[in-house]
Amino acid sequence: MLYSSTRGGAPAVSSAQAIVDGLAPDGGLYVMAPDALPKLDWRDLKDLEYPALAARILSALLPDFSVEEAEALVRRGYSGKFSDPRIAPLVDAGGDLFLELFHGPTAAFKDVALCLLPHLMTASSAKCGHTGDILILTATSGDTGKAALEGFRDVDGIRILVFFPRDGVSPVQKAQMVTQTGRNVGVCSVIGNFDDAQTGVKRIFAAMPEGLSSANSINIGRLVPQVVYYYSAYFDALRMGRIREGEKLNYAVPTGNFGDILAGYLAAELGLPVGTLLCASNANNVLTDFIDTGVYDRRRPFHKTLSPSMDILISSNLERLLYLLSGDPGLVASLMAQLSAEGRYTAPDALMEKLRARFAAFCCDDVGTQAAIAEVWEKHHYLMDTHTAVAWRAAQDFGKEHGPTVILSTASPYKFPAAVLGALGQAAGSDEFAMMDALETLSGVPMPANLRGLRERPVLHTDCVAPADMLEYVKRRKAEPSWAK
Ligand SMILES: *Cc1c(COP(=O)(O)O)cnc(C)c1O
Amino acid residing at 451: L
Atom of ligand 1 nearest to the CA of 410: 13
Residues 6+ apart with CB under 8 A from 425: 374
* Closest of 311, 247, 307, 263 to residue 284, by C-alpha: 311
Amino acid residing at 458: P
Q: Write the pLDDT tens digit of every residue in 168-210.
A: 888 889 999 999 999 999 999 999 999 999 999 989 988 987 8
Q: Write the pLDDT tens digit of every residue in 193-202.
A: 999 999 999 8
Question: What spacing in Å lies between the alpha carbon of 99 and ligand 1's midpoint?
Answer: 14
Please give the helix or strand (H or E) that residue 239 lies within, else none: helix 220-239
The torsion of the CA quartet 273, 325, 124, 71, rounded to 10 degrees, works out to 0
Distances (CA, A) of 193 to 65, 189, 313: 37, 10, 10
The reported pTM is 0.94
3-state secondary structure of 209: coil
Mean pLDDT on 385-393: 98
3-state secondary structure of 205: helix
* Closest of 369, 171, 173 to residue 282, by C-alpha: 369
Pocket perturbation via mutation, ligand 1, pick of 101, 387, 388, 393 by most ligand atoms within 8 A of CB: 387
Task: Report d(CA 153, CA 481) in Å as an integer.
Answer: 17
Evaluated on CA atoms 377, 170, 201, 214, the torsion sign reads negative
Task: Report d(CA 417, CA 439) in Å as an integer.
Answer: 7
DSSP3 helix / strand / coil % (the chain, rounded to 5):
50, 15, 35
248 noted as active-site residue = no
pLDDT > 90 in the chain, percent: 85
Atom of ligand 1 nearest to the CA of 387: 11
Per-residue pLDDT for 485 more than 80?
no
Q: Write the pLDDT tens digit of every residue in 119-147.
A: 999 999 999 998 888 999 999 988 889 99
Q: Which of 39, 46, 81, 110 is catalytic?
A: 110
Question: What spacing in Å lies between the alpha carbon of 108 and ligand 1's midpoint?
Answer: 8
Question: What spacing in Å lies between the alpha carbon of 130 and ligand 1's midpoint?
Answer: 31
Task: Report d(CA 7, CA 5) in Å as an integer.
Answer: 5
Task: Report d(CA 239, CA 49) in Å as an integer.
Answer: 13
Identify the structural domains of the chain with CATH numbers, from first to last: 90-98+226-446 (3.40.50.1100)
pLDDT confidence of residue 133: 87
CB 428, CB 421: distance < 8 Å: yes
Per-residue pLDDT for 277 more than 90?
yes
pLDDT confidence of residue 417: 92
Question: What spacing in Å lies between the alpha carbon of 140 and ligand 1's midpoint?
Answer: 10
Contacts for 325-332: CB closer than 8 Å, 24+ residues apart = 325/34, 325/351, 325/354, 325/355, 326/351, 327/33, 327/34, 327/35, 329/4, 329/5, 329/6, 329/7, 329/8, 329/9, 329/28, 330/8, 332/6, 332/7, 332/8, 332/28
Evaluated on CA atoms 439, 440, 442, 444, the torsion sign reads positive
Nearest alpha carbon, ligand 1 atom 14: 309
Residues with a CB atom less than 6 Å from ligand 1:
108-110, 143, 217, 254-260, 309-310, 387, 410-411
pLDDT confidence of residue 156: 87
pLDDT confidence of residue 355: 98
3-state secondary structure of 203: helix
pLDDT confidence of residue 178: 97
